[in-house]
Chains A and B, each alone.
Chain A
Amino acid sequence: MGSNLTTRVRVAAIGTLIAGAILAAAAFAQSPPAGGDKRTPAERAIDYRQAMFTVIGGNFGPIGGMQQGRAPFNGTEALKRAQRVAALSGFLEDAFPDISKEGDTRAKPEIWADRAEFDKLVKDFNTHTAALAATLAKDSKSEEAFKTAATAVAGDCKGCHDKFRTK
């Protein structure tokens, strides 16, 4: 009697657990996890791109400050920043997927309409950021060479912003 009751309780308990697990799994499959990512793929792509420009800008900022004389020239610091910007610049070519064309972004539709021109500007940016890092790696003391190379990078930023970013 006693063992029979125990068995029945045990079966009921296991059954409840299995049913609960199945329900939980079904619920889990249907809705995102608590606190999960509710963004659309387009929103995620735009966030990714903007995060990248934030990091590029964050590292080019000190370079710009030295280039413009707002901060004293420091070759070691400039080299570190330049290497980061050069590495990040390589991410740009695929930071503008088609799905990210529309949304909360200052990227103009012309980027996708005139992709060849846009890709060329990105390529220039890759080239000039690499050249800036190489210039500093070769001689981190030459402020003059640094300024010239940094101006070329800044020119790429402006050229592309003027053309492909909303005012």
Chain B
Amino acid sequence: MSEPLTEVEPVNTGDVAPATRRVWDLPIRVFHWALVLAIVGAYATNRAGIEYFKYHLWCGYAVVVLIGFRTVWGLVGTYHARFWNFVRGPAATMRFILATLRGTERRYAGHNPLGAVMVIALLAGLLTQSITGLFANDEILNFGPLSGYVSSDRSLALTSLHRQLFYWIMGAVLLHVIAVILHRVLKKEDLVKPMFNGHKPAHSVNPHEEIASSRVVLALLIVLAIAGVLSWYVSQAPLPQADSFM
């Protein structure tokens, strides 16, 4: 990974070497922006009024499937998607932070060790948020599809957690956005465009760090499997208890 960039690009049709190399596979890019939409949608459908709240559940299902997908993709996805290839221990992460403060950190084609911490924090936070939502209820009209599996008290405790965790997730999202802006301003590195087209400038990616395929079929199979399991659980769930306590 830290080899110097000495390799000469093979010249194909033109006489220019490729300006960019692919780092993010298509599934991970779709995952990222779909997750943004789902989070914005979940927020908007909660704020818009109770008649829109049923769509909040749709957004929640999307988050469950997306986070489930990303977790599996972290095991079987392309190189930069896999957790083993970018998650580092506390000591290595601390060394990276100190190097960054001194301005001597090395450049990472994928997630750097600090970015890895944010990936894990967001995945864990959103997984908890979406799962607690499935068991929550608003004590008015809406019941999470799996709330019938737990007692009314447990459901309310999970609802409370769901409401409070929102602020923590917003804090993490804010930090994430600030980090992207700092990369842009301080390091002159655009992280947004690669998240759309998958490519980073060739000078920041070693040739062997480029990914060859997006493994789109595998990604689709994972998404279908997770969505299938979720809809099976939802369809089998007993009715919520609170309507029938009289």
How many residue pairs, one in A and one in B, have C-beta atoms under 8 Å apart? 47
**Residues of A in contact, count (CB < 8 Å):** 19
Residues in A whose Cβ lies below 8 Å from that of B217: none
Cα(A158)–Cα(B163), bound, Å: 13
A70 and B50 contact, CB distance less than 8 A: no
For window 2-25 of A, CB contacts with B under 8 Å fall at none
Cα(A123)–Cα(B7), bound, Å: 75
For window 214-246 of B, CB contacts with A under 8 Å fall at 239-240, 242-246
**Residues of B in contact, count (CB < 8 Å):** 20
Known: A62-B246, A167-B163. A68 touches B142 (CB 8 A): yes
Q: What is the minimal beta-carbon distance from A32 to any residue of chain B, in angstroms?
A: 31
Per-position 1/0 for B125-166, Cβ under 8 A of A? 000000000000011111100000000000000001001100
Q: Which of A33-41, A96-104, A149-157 contacts B (4 or more CB under 8 A)?
A: A149-157
Cα(A58)–Cα(B141), bound, Å: 12
Known: A64-B140, A64-B141, A158-B140. A58 touches B164 (CB 8 A): no
Residues in B whose Cβ lies below 8 Å from that of A145: none
A161 and B140 contact, CB distance less than 8 A: yes
A interface residues (Cβ-Cβ under 8 A, vs B): 57-62, 64-65, 67-68, 70-71, 151, 154-155, 157-158, 161, 167
B242 and A61 contact, CB distance less than 8 A: yes
Residues in B whose Cβ lies below 8 Å from that of A154: 50, 140-141
**Interchain Cβ contacts under 8 Å between A and B, 23 examples:** A57-B139, A58-B245, A58-B246, A60-B140, A61-B243, A61-B246, A62-B246, A64-B140, A68-B143, A70-B143, A70-B239, A70-B243, A71-B243, A154-B141, A155-B49, A157-B50, A158-B49, A158-B50, A158-B53, A161-B138, A161-B139, A161-B140, A167-B164
B interface residues (Cβ-Cβ under 8 A, vs A): 49-51, 53, 138-143, 160, 163-164, 239-240, 242-246
Residues in B whose Cβ lies below 8 Å from that of A59: 246
Q: What is the minimal beta-carbon distance from A50 to any residue of chain B, in angstroms?
A: 12
Cα(A58)–Cα(B139), bound, Å: 10
Q: Which among A60, A70, A151, A158 has the greatest number of chain B C-beta atoms within 10 A?
A: A158
Q: What is the minimal beta-carbon distance from B241 to any residue of chain A, in angstroms?
A: 10
